[in-house]
């Protein structure tokens, strides 16, 4: 087993983790910031329809960014070693996710396909889905999120291969700027056998593509 090659991406990960240690403002301070943005948009935060908005926005933020309070490695920590010799591809396909782009703080909505080739350690399927959400529920770029998911699976499960394929619509592309409605972005990270073995890579790509558009 070669060691994971994820060390190269650690500065990005460290940057993301540093954010988690930034002290949070109080709820009152956060609501005041929302009022400022309402005024920036050109409206009056004191008018009746907007009075409760700051409170709703900060509650929504708790949901959108819940991933900062979770440790991705802990999510995968409970593994099963007795898998009766199962050593073929495990693929979770078409997992819907919602994230927010770190450049505009608007939604990234898409689907993720995550596969690994176990080497003794297997993890509960729901844990892979939770791992996706831990990273999705943060400010993100699609590229970094794809890498973070692959890195974490590689580090914790030490599988023979990891494949992460994300296909998403960035609302900052469709609702502002270039207004390219309907375009999606695909990012992939192939590790281990999925990177070095053409057959393994071909098999996982076929599994992702089967009876499925994109």
Q: Binding residues for Zn ion, per CB under 5 A? A: 101, 103-104, 172
User: Which lies closer to Zn ion via its Cβ, residue 8 or residue 103?
Assistant: 103
Active site residue 104: yes
The smaller minimum CB distance to Zn ion, of residues 101 and 132, is found at: 101
Q: Which residue has the tokens 């993890």?
A: 123
Q: Which member of 12, 70, 98, 104 is catalytic?
A: 104
Please tell me which residue in 142, 143, 154, 171 is annotated as part of the active site: 142
User: Does 17 participate in catalysis according to the annotation?
Assistant: no
The values of phi and psi at residue 134, to 5°, are -55, -40
Based on the residue annotation, tell me whether 100 is a catalytic residue of this protein. Answer: no
Instruction: Reply yes or no on whether 96 is catalytic.
Output: no
CA 31 from chain centre, in angstroms, equals 26
Residue 20 has φ and ψ, to the nearest 5°, of -65, -20
Q: Answer yes or no: 101 catalytic.
A: yes
56 vs 103, beta carbon nearer Zn ion: 103
Helix (H, G, I), strand (E, B) or coil at 111: strand
- Nearest approach in angstroms of CB 143 to Zn ion is 12
Alpha helices in the chain (DSSP H): 10-20, 27-41, 53-64, 72-76, 125-136, 142-157, 171-174, 193-196, 198-209
Q: Which residue, 101 or 164, is less far from Zn ion as judged by CB?
A: 101
CA gyration radius for the chain? 20
- Tell me, yes or no, if 102 is annotated catalytic: yes
What is the nearest approach in angstroms of Zn ion to the Cβ of residue 179? 13
Q: Which of 70, 98, 102, 171 is catalytic?
A: 102
Could you list the active site residues? 101-104, 142, 170, 172
């Amino acid at each position: 087993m070669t060691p994971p090659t994820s060390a190269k991406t650690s500065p990005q990960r460290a940057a993301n983790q540093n954010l988690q240690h930034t002290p949070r403002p109080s709820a009152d301070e956060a609501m005041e910031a929302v009022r400022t943005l309402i005024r920036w948009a050109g409206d009056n935060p004191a008018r009746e329809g907007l009075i409760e908005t700051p409170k709703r926005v900060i509650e929504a933020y708790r949901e959108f960014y819940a991933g900062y309070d979770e440790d991705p490695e802990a999510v995968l920590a409970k593994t099963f070693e007795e898998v009766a010799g199962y050593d073929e591809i495990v693929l979770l396909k078409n997992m819907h996710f919602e994230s927010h782009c770190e450049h505009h703080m608007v939604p990234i909505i898409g689907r993720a396909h995550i596969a690994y080739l176990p080497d003794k350690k297997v993890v509960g399927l729901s844990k892979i889905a939770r791992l996706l959400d831990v990273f999705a529920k943060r400010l993100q770029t699609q590229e970094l999120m794809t890498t973070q998911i692959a890195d974490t699976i590689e580090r914790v499960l030490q599988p023979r291969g990891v494949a992460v394929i994300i296909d998403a619509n960035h609302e900052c592309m469709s609702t502002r700027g270039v207004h390219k409605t309907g375009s999606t972005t695909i990012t992939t990270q192939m590790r281990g056998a999925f990177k070095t073995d053409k057959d393994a890579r071909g098999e996982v790509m076929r599994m992702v593509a089967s009876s499925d558009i994109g």
